[in-house]
Copies of this chain bind each other. A is one copy, B any other.
Amino acid sequence: MRKGLTIGEFATVSHLSVRTLRRYHEAGLLEPATVDPHTSYRYYRPDQIATAQVIHRLRELDVPLAEVKALLATDDPQERAGLISGHLRRLEAELDRTRAAVGSLRRLLQPEAAALEVQLRSVPARTVAAIRDRVRREDALVWFDGAMTELDAAFPPAGRDGPPGGQYANELFTEGAGAMTVFRPVRHPSARGRIEVVELPPVELAVTVHPGSHDDIDVTYGRLGSWVVAQALGVDGPVHETYLVGPRDTADAGQWRTELGWPVFRLGGDPRPGETRS
């Protein structure tokens, strides 16, 4: 008497490997219909092929096994569709990143552009309206958009006092996450929602302007850092960005102008007492 399809037969008809089926069993993703308690042989029913197909497709889309499991666990087709379209959005975002990297790589391999114009600037303390948070790198762009939109809504053009900016801890780039601050200088700062009134401390900056899309902004950061080192200065503290012309001003990324500032200190000198060099 046959108890069902053996794992090998099931592998053949489902186009999955035996190993993979065992792993899906172990992960609770696709339990065999019966498991012989004596021999531990796995036996599958033909109607489980359909489930195997769905898993196969989801895995082709790199949906993690845990997510596949969650997806299969719910019967609510609405929730299912939500999970799937969520993943498709992530795929889209990744595709955008890939496109950006391709473009940036192309530009990177061109013969070097004009020399970087850098100046040292002492920025006095300023009081601004700001939103701060610890953010993971993959969430950075979404968080930025949300925060900047909130700032823009809270302070209409008449109340603004210069272009918006941001400060980003270096760990945000070198590690997986870090503190982000976006701010707007405004005539009458006031807290509401996530917005706080923040006094930005005075700082000595090495400043340059990055033209165009932000896709290769870290190339300019690298060149700026290289300049700083060549001046026998040390870099220190979060990077400063000022959006002279940004996505909120024109959709043409070629027109954007972003001022990049890196806090510096004289080597062998005083790294601004009261702050640690991060």
Contact = CB atoms under 8 A, between A and B. Distances in A.
Interface of A: 2, 5, 9, 11-18, 46-47, 49-50, 52-54, 56-58, 60-61, 77, 80-81, 84, 88, 91, 95, 97-98, 101-102, 104-105, 108-109, 170, 173-175, 218-219, 221-223, 225-226, 228-230, 234-235, 267
Contacts of A225: 12-14, 46, 49
Nearest to A61: B101
B84 A17 contact: no
- SS class, residues of chain A in contact with chain B: helix
Given A54-B108, A60-B98, A98-B61, A222 B174 contact: no
A88 B13 CA distance: 34
Contact of A49 (B13, B52, B226): B226
Given A14-B222, A60-B98, A108 B229 contact: no
Contacts of A104: 57
A184 B205 CA distance: 72
A57 B226 contact: no
A54 to B, nearest CB: 6
A58 B174 contact: no
A11 B174 contact: yes
A218 B55 CA distance: 13
Contacts of A105: 54, 57-58, 61, 84
A53 B12 contact: no
B52 A222 contact: yes
Contacts of A84: 105, 109
Given A57-B104, A84-B105, A102-B61, A222 B17 contact: no
Contacts of A221: 13, 15
Contacts of A15: 173-174, 218, 221-222
Given A54-B108, A61-B98, 6 more contacts: A15-B173, A15-B222, A52-B222, A57-B108, A84-B109, A91-B102
